[in-house]
Structure 1
Amino acid sequence: MKKALALALVLAGSAGTAYAADWTPPKVPDPLPDSLTWNGITFYATLDYGYAYQTNGRPVGSVVSTLEFIPFTTTRNFTGQRISTIAGNGLQQSNVGVKIDTPIGNGWNIVGRIESGFDPLTGEFANGCVSFLQNAGLNYIQQNSNADSGRCGQALNGPAYGGISNPLYGTLTVGRQQTFQLDGIAQYDPLALSYAFSLLGYSGTNGGSGSTQAARWDESAKYMYEYGPFHAGAMFSSGSSGSGMFGNGYGFDVGAVYRGFSMDAVFTKEHGAVNLQTAVNDPLNSTTLAASISDNTAYSVMAKYSWSLGPALAPAPYYIKAANAEPQSDKLTLYAGYTYIDQANPSTAITFGDAAGGYPLTISGILPDNNAFTTDKILQFYWTGLKYDFAWGLSLTGAYYHVSQNSYVADGSACVLGGASKPDCAGLFDQVSFVADYALNKHLDVYAGITYGRVTDGLASTYPGTPGAKFGFAGTGTEVDTTSIMSGFRIKI
């Protein structure tokens, strides 16, 4: 990590010197307008596409057509295969959407947003749930990429909300909305929720306060208020079957922005959240999904600070087309964050219903599992990073992520073999990433990066080669790691 950050700063200094000497960076003509806006209604879209290599993985699937970039997952089937493949969504989820911010008089605006994420390789709506069904009952060697997700084929699998806004009274919106926790990590993750390079982006655990399916709340109301440098908000959802959270949820956010510094503290409570189990727990040809249910409590504190460096220079005309654009200078940003998550057995047992997207949960004597947390499961996330943005379009980012899990021993048996005997034993996850991203113009950037992730003890258990692995792949290993490299391009309209 230290070497990666040092390299970033050396490159920053070298490139800054070249730019000061009137070096002209490569550029690509940009035929698109700055935005596609009409009467406060803005259409936008993102396409993220590239090529990836992984030292320990498995083939991409027909639905989840990207690698499982890190071993912090429920799927537990990194099988030692070296994978080289076309992949998508390296920096962000490809999407298409409409944003509304239309004045209606007396300082009031109608606001709203509808968005759907899609797979850039197939053109289909993002659908993590069906990827579990496609791999149901298959042994590790036969499986391809699959991942738990709140995006499960819905026509509107991202935000879908509307409301009103006023600079004096705040903003009130209702519909399907991101939690304050997901909003927060999107702002304070140095890699902006990159799927290929960021734990916070690839895994939905943090954004969903313990449960990936609960990162976006259906049937929710959200209120935000700003006063000078301070802001605060409250959010509530009634929950429902098919939404990823059966019971109600509520959250609060307080924060401040002052010059280059910003900070947010978030509290979240969720009742009856859905946690899909690995596909090997689903019978072959299953049409239902095995899941455990939890009540989640999460606290998070996140901050960043930015410094402007060097003289302010006029933006290159190919990069920002707006008339009279303000001069830009290089910028260095430091990020840090901490999240504490407590998952407990639900106060109200869930005996039937659907996961996100309307996929039925498996119903049996023990499923859905309402007793997966004999003692509370505690996850603690820590992250930090540095990002250097050059005024002419290049950014260099180094980031480090760490997770610790306690021993919650769901089935009551002891943890042995270094704690790797069961997935509910104590364990650790570490990830380090470095990414270079260059904007060829406002709507097109190219990127390349590398990430290394490792799980140990309980978080590594049941992977092939560790105790508890199914289908004859059990061993005595206590850790699993992988290195992933990806380069690609992103088009943003």
Structure 2
Amino acid sequence: MGWGTTRVGVVLLAMVARASFADAADLPAENAPEAAPPPTNCFSSLWTYLNSSASDCPLSYAGITLYGTLDVGYGYETHGVPENPSAGKVNYGIQKNSNNTHWLLSPNALSTSVIGLKMEEHIGAGWSLIGVVEAGFDPYSGMLINAPRSRADNNVNALANQTANYNSSAAGQWDNAQGFIGVSNPVYGTLTFGRTNSLALDALASYDPVASTAFSPFGFTSSFAGFGNSPTVRPNTAFTYRLNVGNFRVAAQAQVGGYAIGNASNGQYQGQIGADFGALSLDGVVNWTRDAVSLSSYTGNPPSGYDVNSVLKATLSNSAGVELMARYTWGPVRFYAGYIYARLMNPSDDYANGFPTIAEGIFVPPGAATSNAYDVNRIFNTVWTGVRYSMWSNLDLAAGVYYRTQNDYLPPADGVCTGSGITISSSKCAGSQGAASFLIDYKPVGRVDLYAGMMVSDVWGGFANGHLYTQNVDPTVGLHIRF
């Protein structure tokens, strides 16, 4: 509190001093043309601040900028669960534990609330030193998002009695969103190292017509961008290089190190190529991940001999995949379409003796890691399309349709698939999941969004195995503020 207040105070004092100096030094000479009026001080009132943009009015000092977002909402779910203060969101999309109808506080429905610091310091010859430290939090509990903790909280709860819990890369770290440092040059590109978004995650967000946590399956779960594994979308120790040449762009990313230094895999490598041809934008990303981790709770049956707050189960896999995306702008309308192919295979290592998770204090005990889930490879195919219409300069309407399928990857030795819906015999049976999404986003002033939306999400076949229900509808309204 003291440090932040001091920094803001220094910024305000510097602006006042600079304005006073300008008034004294730049008085017009006699008979000179009348000078243009000075720009409005965006800190002169709350209204002028809210009606500015983050770039026009940053909270900066000595090359460091404080920034953040706050996203609060309220909604209804036809089949939801109570909020968990560590989860950072509720069941906007259908989940196994989705159960009763709920009116509930709905955090981070448009995007995740974050607070962060970013640095840009020019060091000469066109080069800049850059860096970001950013943490996502639940605006109602004030807690840093910790998905593994939300799962451990439900180790003692049967499926029908669970609170919200997810697989995610955010695990209570002080940089659970991003934390990297690097150098940038307009000619030679940008190179960073540290905790950063995967190329697939950033690219997919740019080609999502609805682009929100509550109203898009891509925003609700990172398993799409993670090629089947959500926690891998933010490698903790990755080198990332990006370069723009004319209307083309390329990027490469390589994770170094594994579980012991905060990663959710033992190696991840991605490459990207894209281009803009007038109103048409195209991008493609390829991926290879080794020993990716998908965590799950014990669902009312915790193992004896362990603290139930410190253990989780895991399914390990190697994954490969590709994203192909397109966007076309026609006046105020943008059209989107894309395709994702993902293949999950048995991991390179079995970790029979257990390993630490990305959340401090939570581990996978010996015998709790499944390494043979994909004796028959699991294959996902995802397609989507949608449109975003800027009706006014401050009002967007968006809609999207998303659909993902999986193959029948049940080994012959395990029999054949029988049944349907939630009674289908195995989660390894062929199946699909889909969503239809709608969003209204109104910006009454520059830093504020008032929004309303809804996602109808469904599961069929193997995706429905073990679920309590197969559909959720989540009409939600909210307020999103940037600073």
What TM-score, normalized to structure 2?
A: 0.84
1:76-87 equivalences in 2 (<5 Å): 76-79=96-99, 81-87=100-106
- Alpha-carbon separation, structure 1, partners of 2:191 and 2:121: 14
**CA deviation after TM superposition for structure 1 residue 226, in Å:** 1.3
SS of 1:31 mapped into structure 2: helix
**Separation in structure 2 between the aligned mates of residue 98 and residue 426 of structure 1, nearest angstrom:** 45
User: Partner of 1:186: helix, strand, or coil?
Assistant: helix
Distance across 2 between alignment mates of 1:39 and 1:64: 35
Q: Displacement, 1:303?
A: 1.3
Coordinate RMSD, CA, aligned: 1.8
Query: Distance in 2 between the 1:287 and 1:301 partners?
Result: 39
Query: Which residue, 208, 213, 231 being the options, matches 1:189?
Result: 208
CA contact (8 A) 1:422 1:458 kept: yes
1:147 pairs with 2:166: yes
- In the other structure, the counterpart of 2:481 is 491
| C-alpha contact (below 8 Å) 2:154/2:300 kept by paired residues | no
SS in 2 for 1:294: strand
SS, match of residue 356 in structure 1: coil
Match for residue 257 of structure 2? 239
Call closer, same or farther: CA 1:104–1:390 in 2, change over 3 Å. Answer: farther
Match of 2:446 in 1: 442
Q: CA deviation at 1:281?
A: 7.1
**Aligned partners of 1:383, 1:180: CA distance in 2, in Å?**
19
Give me the whole-angstrom Cα distance separating, in 1, the residues matched to 2:324 and 2:205.
13
SS in 2 for 1:185: helix
Q: Distance in 1 between matches of 2:358 and 2:219?
A: 19
Pairing 1:387–2:388 present: yes
Taking a change above 3 Å as real, the CA distance of residues 118 and 141 of structure 1, as seen in their structure-2 partners, is: same
Please give the alpha-carbon distance, in whole angstroms, between the structure 1 residues aligned to 2:75 and 2:87: 14
Deviates more, 1:445-454 or 1:283-292: 283-292
The CA deviation at 1:39 is: 4.7
Residue 426 of structure 2: aligned partner: 422
User: What do residues 349-408 of structure 1 show as CA deviations (whole Å, max 9, x unaligned)?
Assistant: 22321122235433243x211111111111111111100113430000011111101111
Amino acid in the other structure paired with 1:396: L
CA-CA distance at 1:259 after TM superposition: 2.6
Instruction: Check conservation: 2:290, 2:317, Cα contact below 8 A.
Output: yes
Segments of structure 2 that go 5 or more residues without pairing to the other structure are 1-45
Q: 1:286 to 1:421 in 2, by over 3 A?
A: farther
Provide the C-alpha distance between the structure 2 equivalents of 1:358 and 1:375, rounded to a whole number of angstroms. 33
Task: Judge which range, 416-425 or 228-237, deviates more.
Answer: 416-425
**Residue in structure 2 matched with residue 230 of structure 1 by the alignment:** 248
> In the alignment, what sits opposite 2:280?
261
Q: Indicate whether 1:298 and 2:321 are aligned.
A: yes
Structure 1 residues 228-287: Cα deviation after superposition (integer angstroms, max 9, x where no partner): 000111111123215343412111000002332211100011101101125417617352
Answer yes or no: is the 8 Å Cα contact 2:442–2:449 preserved in 1. Answer: yes
Give the equivalent residue in structure 2 for 1:328.
none
2:114 maps to 1:95: yes
Which residue in 1 is equivalent to 2:228?
A: 210
SS of the aligned residue for 2:379 comes to strand
Aligned pairs (5 A) from 1:331-370: 331-351=332-352, 352-365=354-367, 367-370=368-371
* Deviations, residues 433-457 of structure 1 (Å, cap 9, x unaligned): 1110100111111000111010011
- Structure 1 pair 83–238 and aligned structure 2 pair: CA distance change class (3 A): same
Q: Find the partner of 2:414 among 412, 425, 443.
A: 412
Q: Confirm or deny: 8 A CA contact 1:289 1:359 kept in the other structure.
A: no
**Distance change >3 Å, CA 359–CA 458, structure 1 → 2:** farther
Q: 1:457 to 1:133 in 2, by over 3 A?
A: same
2:199 aligned residue (154, 164, 180): 180
Closer/same/farther in 2, CA of residues 65 and 39 from structure 1, 3 Å limit:
closer
CA–CA separation in structure 1 for the residues paired with 2:449 and 2:97: 33
Could you say if the C-alpha distance between residues 278 and 380 of structure 1 is closer, same or farther in structure 2, counting changes exceeding 3 Å? Answer: farther
1:44 matched to 2:67? The reply is yes
1:347 positional shift: 1.6
Q: Which amino acid aligns with 2:215?
A: F
Q: How many residues align?
A: 424
Call closer, same or farther: CA 1:228–1:46 in 2, change over 3 Å: same
Is 1:138 the counterpart of 2:157? The answer is yes
Q: 3-state DSSP class of the match of 2:299?
A: helix
Equivalent residue in structure 1 for 2:295, among 236, 258, 276: 276
Report the 3-state secondary structure (helix = DSSP H, G, I; strand = E; otherwise coil) of the residue aligned with 2:68.
strand
Q: For structure 1, which segment, 368-377 or 255-264, has the greater mean C-alpha deviation from structure 2 after superposition?
A: 255-264
1:200 aligns with 2:218: yes
Alpha-carbon distance, 1:344 to partner: 0.5
Pair 1:129 & 2:148 matched = yes
